Amino acid sequence: MKFRYYFFKEQNRVYDKAELLTYLEAQPFMTLHQEGAIKIAEYHNNVLDMNASFVLNTKSIVPNIQRLNPAYLDLNIYVEFDVVNNTYKVSKIIDMIEVICRRFNFLVYNECFEDVLPFKRSLLTGAFELVKQAYKKKYEEEFMNYSKLSKQCLESIYAFLEVKDQLTNIDNYQILDYVFLRERETRLAYVAVTLDLSKPFIIPPSVQLVKIVTEDTERIVSLQDLKRKIGKYLSLVDSRLIDVYMVEERYFKAVKKTIAKLKLDEVKVPLREVPFKSVLDL
């Protein structure tokens, strides 16, 4: 199911179409193309795995438009994306909507609104959350295919993924890859990393579990338990990044020996790996 925000203006439909298209084309992860007379700006953020379409149509598709205040005129412009999405990803679309509304004096509408309204972030986010909740309630079985993490946890993970490539002076370090694990009987997901101790490493934020892999064994342990044993060897990668730790090269051999000798309690709950794209905040 597609979720949409529609753009309106008050009293007139005058705006600089070329400037709007230039703005959209300049955005990262955006590609412009045309389908007949319809212009589409396709957004594909491969870091966050988020897709959306800004559509400049030739006719209105606003449902029940007759009930809206006639002073507000539909511009036949809207942005759409899948309603089954994480709020953090949708916030990137709302960022662009805010700029568009301010630069071109546009108003915005969604079916959850009583009428067309000036841009207000909380209203746009709230409408999306409301529709997503209703969709989940209606299609509960479909959501069993998705695993669940808290909004705060996912925000932390996505925010780190966006700056991950900007970290400096870490050429000799391994940024541990996220692994998402799920209990068999519930939708609850856990954030893990895989640690093979091949080189000095960086632990990203929001990690709960560590999958320690050696030539002979594989075990899943709590990060908190592990940090109690190797905490003195951990330091912040960057003071601006909360909860992102590294084992410096000078301590790596000591950490490797310490972990090899550790007798940590392993996680006993049966877990299976799930793809990140199937992890939601609902």
Model pLDDT for residues 245-262, shown as the tens digit of each residue: 999 999 999 999 988 887
Quick: pLDDT tens for 133-143.
999 999 999 88
Quick: pLDDT tens for 80-118.
999 999 999 999 999 999 999 999 999 999 999 999 999
Whole-angstrom distance, CA of residue 50 vs CA of residue 86: 9
Whole-angstrom distance, CA of residue 5 vs CA of residue 83: 12
149 has pLDDT over 90: yes
Whole-angstrom distance, CA of residue 119 vs CA of residue 121: 6
And the tokens for 174? 């391994």
- Block residue for tokens 């079985």: 141
User: Residue ranges of the alpha helices (H) in the chain?
Assistant: 17-26, 87-104, 121-138, 140-143, 151-163, 223-230, 249-261
pLDDT band at 193 (very low <50, low <70, confident <90, very high): very high
219 has pLDDT over 90: no
And the tokens for 166? 């900007």
Strand partners, 272: 182
Phi and psi based region of residue 252 (left: phi greater than 0; alpha: psi -120 to 50; beta: remaining) = alpha
